[in-house]
Amino acid sequence: MSIIENLIEGYYYLRILISPVLIGIILAVIFYNTVEIQYNAVISFLIVITSFVLGILWANSARKKHGASNYMAMVDASHDLNNIKK
């Protein structure tokens, strides 16, 4: 693979990785601000780390099965707009 192809695959890999991490960060912030227990910072950190690990697993699975760019092409495609008659 060329350098450009590797950069594109890396970009799409990061896009796949970021989505569960952002959800984990949002859940951790909500948990940290709403639950009043002694270890809420530790649990919030564990939520973020868990979402990061799940993101890595998901991105690796998508990369091995389809390729990161092909997977994101399937996700970004708008199949509902393909059937509109002009």
Domain range list for the chain: 3-67
> Does the global pTM surpass 0.85?
no
**Own/partner pairs, 6-10, CB within 8 angstroms, 24+ separation:** 8/69, 9/63, 9/67, 9/68, 9/69, 10/68
pLDDT of residue 1: 72
pLDDT digits (tens, 9 = 90+) for 6-59: 898 899 899 999 999 999 999 999 999 998 888 999 999 999 999 999 999 999
